[in-house]
Amino acid sequence: MMNQNVIVSDRKPILGSKTITVSGSSSPMFSSPPTYFTFPRRKFLELLEAADKNSTNINKNNLGAGKIASWVDSMRDSSPTRIRSSSHDSSDNDHKTSWIVQFPSALNKFDEIVNAAKGKQIVMFLDYDGTLSPIVEDPDKAYITHEMREVVKNVALNFPTAIVTGRSIDKVRGFVKLDEIYYAGSHGMDIEGPTNEYAYGESNQGVLFQPAREFVPMIEKLFKILEEKTKWIPGAMVENNKFCLSVHFRRVDEKRWTALAEQVKSVLIDFPQLKLTQGRKVLEIRPTIKWDKGQALNFLLKSLGFEKSEDVVPVYIGDDRTDEDAFKVLRERGQGFGILVSKVPKETNASYSLQDPSQVNEFLRRLVEWKRKTFEEA
């Protein structure tokens, strides 16, 4: 299938320029020489710089004491938002049972999932932390197991596969160590694809898309400031993900969460072009452009030639609030399935659930076995 892809070109700098040059290609993965077009910078950025109304925007109008309190409450909840229930065990169990009925195990419903995919192309999208690797105290030690690496490699050999993460591409590639997959780092603001023999279809070039490139100097400046501002808080860690920042507080004493939130507030008040969102024991700081994991999913499907195809089944597995953007896109498309990784009931746009990375491993392993069996029977 032929389609038109758009990437920000390296030919002209974005920062300070009145125009933006983009390239289009008619091949699914940019295998032919691109054609360059120039658009007014303002027109292009209008499509990207609209603030996401569903996110928590940090600006001078919403930084009161009440806001700090709400941040801390949200930090305690450890997103996505847990469904509130009574203190009685029986009521808790009723809620959990009801939730499991609504979002059944993807393992128990495996046949239902693959039956819907018969004769169609599955495209896999995977979060990293909490999905492929366990959530750990030290984010720099969120290693993937050898077994999980092998199963992800086998999935990628049978289906186009992408890891969509808030981490930088360099960091997550260092963990995964696979060349067969697509990487969408910084919540989808930095997308690269496999090259040569690993690229999907006839392409021999990878995807390149960086819609927040002009924010890099700002992100680097903020990173240095936050490192200095938070260094006195034991356990706090600021991670530079190139196009966004992560302020990890998993190892911070809960008594110091308010102090940490106040430090973030004191810095972000001077950066109205950035917004704050919440992850699992992490505060995420991103540019206020309308781009997230859901947009990244759509971009990759378009790049693969499946933008308007009825013969594709996207499957997205993730555990975090930021993955909800992708789950929502799948529901809006009316295609594919979102699978939430969680041991407790949470509000979600997913269709199914898995409890932890070990169940993700089992689901992916069974998917590969199903594909191979289907191929042998064909």
How many residues are there in the chain? 378
- Domain with 370 in it: 100-207+291-377
Answer yes or no: do 176 and 224 share one domain. Answer: no
Residue 141 banded pLDDT, cuts 50, 70, 90: very high
Answer yes or no: do 282 and 296 share one domain. Answer: no
Answer yes or no: do 169 and 113 share one domain. Answer: yes
Token pair in block for residue 202: 């006839």
Answer yes or no: do 182 and 283 share one domain. Answer: no
> Does residue 316 belong to any structural domain of this protein?
yes
d(CA 253, CA 257): 7
Token pair in block for residue 255: 């008594």
Answer yes or no: do 108 and 190 share one domain. Answer: yes
The pLDDT tens digits for 151-196 are 999 999 999 999 999 999 999 999 999 999 999 999 999 999 886 5
Answer yes or no: do 182 and 323 share one domain. Answer: yes
Answer yes or no: do 148 and 199 share one domain. Answer: yes
CATH number of the domain encompassing residue 141: 3.40.50.1000
State the total domains in the chain.
Answer: 2
Question: Tell me, what amino acid is at 228?
Answer: E
Q: Tokens 């070039």 identify what position?
A: 205
pLDDT of residue 182: 95
Answer yes or no: do 106 and 195 share one domain. Answer: yes
The pLDDT tens digits for 235-259 are 999 999 999 999 999 999 999 999 9
> Does residue 240 belong to any structural domain of this protein?
yes
Residue 305's region, left for phi above 0, alpha for psi from -120 to 50, else beta, is left
**Which of residues 287, 312, 346 is at a domain's end?**
287
Answer yes or no: do 298 and 200 share one domain. Answer: yes
> Does residue 30 belong to any structural domain of this protein?
no
d(CA 334, CA 329): 9
**Which of residues 241, 260, 287 is at a domain's end?**
287
Answer yes or no: do 202 and 303 share one domain. Answer: yes
Residue 376 banded pLDDT, cuts 50, 70, 90: confident
Residue 281 banded pLDDT, cuts 50, 70, 90: confident
pLDDT of residue 45: 44
Answer yes or no: do 141 and 189 share one domain. Answer: yes
339, 352 contact by CB (below 8 A)? yes
Answer yes or no: do 179 and 155 share one domain. Answer: yes
